[in-house]
């Protein structure tokens, strides 16, 4: 079968490497599957989470991002049954995630009016994405679903900005495509996964799904969305090491309107400028990247247009309707808002637009520094950078210092212009500042994780110890009990770029 399962590794290969970090989780999942469903799974899927190094809240505006895949992942064990059309889902965390069963010939994703969607709805988004694809390939004929048994094990901290949701949706896409023998390339799978995750309610830009499929071990990926999806491997400067620290303030993105409010503000800003610039198709210009392309201008020139046409700090809904867009309130709601942003009455267009443009400039600079200073052919993950002076203080000309500054600026902008930080994230950033380590929130924000840049494994160890002493060990008792057992190693850790999605088959 011509599928995306390139690079597939077999179970026997894993058995030869019992020290493999995945092994015990796969073994547990295999046993769990057999216990739940009474048979053997046909195959396993591994879908990684990601850490975005820089380029936050720019993907849905069409601008490039720089993420890498992390070790933490969603694993699926999947079996199929052509005799029926039932999907049965089981999660190894049985107390936290309930069992689910549905008939795929009447697939529906039921979202709550308030609060977080049920975990299995993320899975159903992926199934729906593939069914639509099959229907399209069969000129509109509905899909004949194949029954599936799926057992899931995940260790990406949920609702923490490391993209557990997209790993779950993308894993469902890959498993469903494989069972239904739909031959797809990695980029197609990433695009389908990005599109169908929007059924959960968030209007994401595609970064998470792209890196989940396109990641390569040892490098970050410069991911472009316009004019089409493209990933360029970026070697990080020798010795640079990224640390993830989870603030433990969870934020489910689909449970609130915060994420979509930012998307709406960016779309409005792009369209208002497009209208001022007298583009006849201004209503269709949803993303800054389209506007910039139509204007043939630089990001710096686009920034000037933002200041010229969107000078106010706050725009009310009434003035947007009357003065900027010349539409009535009903049309405004229909054309410019999403289901969960209909309540919006105030809009910060200048601030959001400035963040997107300046963050995109930072992504470009970050890439340039990496390319200029890459000296060794591979990412160092177990060595010490000899050039480090060992105390985290570096001379300003070093690439590490420049990268750290960009990360720091990124956080400042996310906090002030984009208003998507959290007091706990800001505390982690202050501690990082004091230690002269560049750090920023990663993922959507409003809680979740920070990512920090250290110049060697040695300095990263010191940084981790400092955060443990000054943040994690001071956490309230309940969090201490939950995460302190193994010295907080699951919530503050060094991370190294891994490979993208894989399918494992039993021999
Ligand atoms: P993230 O930043 O991790 O992507 P989201 O708010 O987008 O956060 O998605 C988090 C949701 O994804 C969780 O509330 C849960 O429904 C689902 N999820 C993540 N990991 C798992 C898992 N291991 N098992 C079941 N559901 C999961
Ligand atoms: P997380 O934090 O994984 O939910 C979200 C979006 C991304 C991107 C980042 C911010 C989804 C699935 N993911 O990530 O597309 O916009 O926020 O850079 O919506
Ligand atoms: Mg998510």
Q: How many CA atoms lie within 13 A of 312 on its CB side?
A: 11
pLDDT at 4: 39
Q: What values do phi and psi take at 31, rounded to 5?
A: -65, -40
Q: How many CA atoms lie within 13 A of 31 on its CB side?
A: 5
pLDDT at 385: 40
Query: Which DSSP state fits 234?
Result: E
DSSP E strands in 421-501: the ranges are 438-441, 449-454, 492-495
Q: Give strand pairing partners of 101.
A: 88
- 82-140: pLDDT as tens digits: 999 999 999 999 999 999 999 999 999 999 888 999 999 999 999 999 999 999 988 88
User: Whose alpha carbon is nearest atom 4 of ligand 1?
Assistant: 163
- Is the pLDDT confidence value at 12 over 80? no
122 CA to middle of ligand 1, Å? Answer: 8
Ligand 2 neighbour 446 (Cβ under 6 A):
no
Q: Among candidates 406, 334, 338, which has minimal Cα distance to 370?
A: 406
Under 8 Å CB-to-CB from 61, ≥6 apart: which residues? 205, 266, 270, 287, 288, 289, 356, 360
Under 8 Å CB-to-CB from 455, ≥6 apart: which residues? 239, 240, 241, 385, 388, 392, 394, 398, 400
Q: What values do phi and psi take at 377, rounded to 5?
A: -70, -10
165 CA to middle of ligand 2, Å? Answer: 9
- 380-428: pLDDT as tens digits: 444 334 344 444 444 555 889 999 999 999 999 999 999 999 999 999 9
Q: Among candidates 258, 256, 250, 261, which has minimal Cα distance to 447?
A: 250
- Verify whether residue 208 is a known catalytic residue: yes
Query: How many CB atoms neighbour CB 241 within 10 A?
Result: 26
pLDDT at 430: 98
Q: Which ligand places an atom closest to the C-alpha of 252?
A: 1
141 CA to middle of ligand 1, Å? Answer: 32
Its ipTM equals 0.99
Query: How many CB atoms neighbour CB 422 within 10 A?
Result: 17
Cα–Cα separations (whole angstroms), residue 37 to 28, 94, 338, 347: 14, 14, 40, 51
Under the phi-then-psi rule, with left for phi > 0, alpha for psi from -120 to 50, and beta for the rest, what region is 430? Answer: alpha
Atom of ligand 2 lying closest to residue 443 CA? 2
Write the DSSP string, 354-377. Answer: HHHHHHHHHHHHHHHHHHHH--SS
Ligand 2 neighbour 251 (Cβ under 6 A):
no
70 CA to middle of ligand 2, Å? Answer: 15
- 36-95: pLDDT as tens digits: 999 999 999 999 999 999 999 999 999 999 999 999 999 999 999 999 999 999 999 999
pLDDT at 389: 40
Cβ contact 306:295 at 8 Å: no
266 CA to middle of ligand 2, Å? Answer: 15
Q: Which ligand places an atom closest to the C-alpha of 246?
A: 1
Q: Which ligand places an atom closest to the C-alpha of 50?
A: 2
Under 8 Å CB-to-CB from 16, ≥6 apart: which residues? none
Query: How many CB atoms neighbour CB 426 within 10 A?
Result: 15
Reported confidence tier of residue 182, pLDDT bands at 50, 70, 90: very high
pLDDT at 21: 72
Ligand 2 neighbour 324 (Cβ under 6 A):
no
Q: Give strand pairing partners of 233.
A: 221
Per-chain mean pLDDT for the chain: 91
DSSP-H helix ranges across 395-456: 399-416, 423-434
Cα–Cα separations (whole angstroms), residue 136 to 5, 107, 177, 259: 22, 17, 14, 30
pLDDT at 181: 92
pLDDT at 23: 87
- Is the pLDDT confidence value at 496 over 50? yes
Q: Which ligand places an atom closest to the C-alpha of 209?
A: 2
Please pick, among 103, 208, 395, 478, the residue that the annotation labels catalytic: 208
Ligand 2 neighbour 163 (Cβ under 6 A):
yes
Reported confidence tier of residue 317, pLDDT bands at 50, 70, 90: very high
Ligand 1 neighbour 432 (Cβ under 6 A):
no
pLDDT at 315: 98
Atom of ligand 2 lying closest to residue 52 CA? 18
166 CA to middle of ligand 3, Å? Answer: 6
Q: Among candidates 179, 176, 223, 226, which has minimal Cα distance to 196?
A: 176
Ligand 1 neighbour 120 (Cβ under 6 A):
no
| Cα–Cα distance, 408 to 427 (Å, whole number) | 13
Cα–Cα separations (whole angstroms), residue 341 to 203, 229, 332, 346, 347: 11, 28, 11, 11, 11
Please tell me whether the peptide bond between 227 and the residue prior to it is cis, using omega within 30 degrees of 0.
yes
Cβ contact 265:302 at 8 Å: no
Q: At what angle do helices 207-214 and 164-179 cross, to 10 degrees?
A: 60
- Residue with more model confidence, 12 or 211: 211
User: Whose alpha carbon is nearest atom 13 of ligand 1?
Assistant: 158
Return the H-helix or E-strand segment holding 318. helix 317-319
């Amino acid at each position: 079968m011509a599928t995306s399962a390139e690079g597939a590794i077999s179970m026997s290969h894993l058995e030869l490497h019992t020290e493999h970090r995945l092994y015990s989780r796969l073994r547990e999942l295999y046993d769990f599957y057999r216990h739940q469903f009474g048979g053997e799974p046909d195959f396993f899927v591994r879908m990684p989470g990601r850490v975005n190094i820089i380029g936050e809240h720019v993907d849905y505006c069409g601008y490039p991002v720089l993420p890498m895949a992390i070790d933490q992942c969603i694993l699926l064990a999947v079996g199929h049954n052509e005799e029926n059309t039932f999907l049965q889902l089981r999660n190894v965390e049985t107390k936290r995630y309930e069992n689910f069963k549905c008939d795929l010939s009447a697939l529906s994703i039921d979202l709550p009016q308030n609060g977080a969607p049920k975990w299995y709805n993320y899975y159903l988004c992926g199934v729906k994405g593939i069914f639509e694809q099959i229907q399209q390939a069969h000129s509109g004929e509905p899909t004949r679903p194949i029954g599936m048994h799926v057992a899931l094990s995940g260790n990406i901290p949920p609702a923490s900005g490391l993209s557990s949701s997209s790993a779950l949706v993308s894993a469902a896409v890959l498993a469903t495509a494989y069972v239904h023998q739909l031959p797809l390339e990695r980029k197609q799978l990433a695009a389908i996964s990005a599109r169908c995750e929007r059924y959960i309610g968030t209007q994401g830009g595609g970064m998470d799904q792209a890196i989940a499929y396109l990641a390569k071990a040892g490098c970050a990926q410069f991911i472009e969305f316009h004019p089409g999806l493209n990933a360029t491997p970026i070697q990080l400067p020798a010795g640079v090491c990224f640390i993830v620290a989870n603030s433990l303030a969870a934020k489910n993105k689909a449970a609130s309107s915060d994420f979509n409010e930012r998307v709406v503000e960016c779309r409005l800003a792009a369209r208002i400028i497009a209208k001022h610039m007298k583009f006849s198709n201004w209503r269709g210009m949803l993303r800054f990247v389209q506007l910039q392309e139509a204007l043939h201008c630089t990001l710096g020139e686009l920034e000037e247009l933002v200041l010229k046409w969107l000078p106010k700090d706050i725009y009310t809904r009434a003035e947007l309707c009357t003065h900027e867009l010349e539409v009535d309130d009903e049309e405004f709601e229909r054309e410019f808002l999403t289901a969960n942003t209909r309540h919006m009455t105030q809009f910060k267009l200048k601030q959001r637009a400035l963040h997107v443009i300046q963050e995109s400039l930072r992504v470009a600079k970050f890439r340039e520094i990496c390319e200029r200073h890459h000296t060794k052919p591979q990412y160092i993950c177990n060595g010490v950078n000899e050039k480090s002076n060992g105390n985290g203080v570096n001379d300003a000309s070093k690439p590490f210092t420049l990268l750290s500054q960009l990360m720091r600026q990124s956080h400042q902008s996310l906090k002030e212009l984009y208003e998507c930080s959290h007091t706990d994230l800001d505390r982690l950033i202050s501690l990082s500042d004091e230690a002269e380590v560049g750090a920023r929130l990663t993922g959507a924000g409003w809680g979740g994780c920070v990512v920090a840049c250290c110049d060697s494994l040695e300095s990263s160890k010191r940084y981790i110890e400092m955060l443990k002493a000054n943040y994690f060990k001071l956490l309230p008792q309940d969090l201490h009990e939950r995460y302190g057992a193994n010295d907080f190693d699951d919530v503050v850790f060094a991370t190294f770029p891994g490979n993208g999605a894989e399918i494992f088959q039993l021999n």
